[in-house]
């Protein structure tokens, strides 16, 4: 019978402070604690982790009784992305011998944004190849240290996958933005994987006002347009049958739509049902969009 677990010595986690991850843009570093607000699925991400607070690697291995393993050790970054570990996917984005890493410089991991969705978990691992230390034979891939850090790709209600383009060059209508809702076949599918917002960079001032977070009126219109556009697609498709209060997958378009519909339903005069909202969208589209604006304003004020 195989043993339930194979014991082996590891590096003391208390000796390795949690590293902080940053989004790197040239020489500028922005903390990833609050996620990445202006994420574009077509742009690469350069992520940087500072290791300056870590002790010298060779000293750490010696003091932990793992001196013989140091030359066999490597630093790895395993990326896990998607709504969950089960439905998402993972891949190795970085692997380098530990003795070749300069702690003061830290490490930089380059990610292909097209592989990412919703949230990202970075697993920083120190592993070893097959080697022997006093009293133990370490198997290839043994993990001596593990640290995980997660961040969302979208920070707030206003932030969705965006792509700045010149509407003039693309021969699009000269609006400030365009909301593209992809094919919705199931309300449990990802909201962020279904929705894409094109920002017209012919109006740089508008993009700057949205990014500043100080123009509440413009932010409200932007959010209201997203809510109205998504709900028009969903309510216009009889096969989707959205329900207020229905439980949908976390991060799904159904979860978002259900919450938006509940907000629209709680009208001061009456409780609107989904069929009533669908009828209003068709017969009184101005009232429907005004209702979406009022809901978005409430979210902004909160």
What residues pair up with 111 in beta bridges, in sequence order?
Answer: 45
Q: What is the pLDDT of residue 71?
A: 94
pTM: 0.55
Dihedral pair phi/psi, residue 7, rounded to 5°? -80, 140
CATH architecture for the domain at 13-152: Sandwich (2.60)
> At residue 118, does pLDDT exceed 80?
no
Report the pLDDT averaged over residues 33-50.
76
**Least confident interval from 141-150, 171-180, 204-213:** 204-213
Report the pLDDT averaged over residues 29-45.
74
265 versus 76: the higher-pLDDT residue is: 76
> At residue 1, does pLDDT exceed 50?
no
47 versus 269: the higher-pLDDT residue is: 47
Q: Using one digit for the tens of pLDDT, what is the confidence trace for 187-206?
A: 888 776 788 788 888 888 88
- Region(s) of the chain under CATH 2.60.40: 13-152
70 versus 210: the higher-pLDDT residue is: 70
Which residue's entry shows tokens 């919450």?
259
Contact 23, 44 (CB under 8 A): no
177-181: strand order across its sheet: 162-165, 195-200, 177-181
């Amino acid at each position: 019978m195989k043993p339930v677990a194979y014991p082996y010595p590891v590096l003391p986690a208390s000796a390795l402070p949690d590293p902080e991850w940053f989004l790197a843009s040239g020489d500028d570093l922005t903390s990833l604690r609050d996620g990445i607000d202006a994420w574009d699925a077509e742009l690469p991400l350069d992520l940087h982790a500072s290791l300056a607070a870590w002790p010298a690697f060779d000293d750490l291995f010696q003091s932990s009784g793992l001196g013989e393993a140091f030359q066999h050790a490597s630093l790895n970054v395993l990326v896990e992305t998607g709504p969950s570990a089960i439905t998402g996917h993972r891949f190795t984005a970085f692997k380098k011998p530990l003795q070749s890493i300069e702690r003061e410089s830290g490490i930089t991991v380059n990610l292909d944004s097209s592989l990412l969705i919703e949230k990202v978990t970075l697993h920083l691992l120190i592993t070893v190849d097959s080697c022997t230390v006093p009293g133990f034979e370490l198997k290839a891939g043994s993990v001596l240290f593990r640290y995980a850090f997660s961040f969302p790709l979208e920070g707030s209600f206003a932030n969705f996958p965006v792509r700045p383009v010149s509407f003039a060059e693309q021969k699009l209508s000269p609006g400030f933005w365009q909301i593209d809702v992809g094919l919705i076949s199931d309300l449990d599918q990802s909201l962020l994987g279904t929705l894409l917002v094109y920002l017209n960079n012919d109006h740089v001032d508008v993009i700057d006002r949205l990014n500043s977070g100080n123009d509440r009126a413009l932010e409200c219109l932007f959010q209201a347009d997203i809510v109205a556009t998504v709900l028009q697609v969903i309510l216009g498709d009889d096969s989707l049958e959205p329900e207020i209060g229905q439980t949908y997958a976390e991060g799904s378009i159904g979860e978002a739509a259900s919450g938006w519909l509940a907000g629209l339903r709680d009208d001061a005069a009456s409780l609107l049902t989904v069929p009533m909202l669908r009828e209003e969208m068709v017969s009184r589209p101005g009232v429907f969009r005004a209702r979406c604006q009022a809901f978005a304003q409430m979210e902004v004020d909160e």
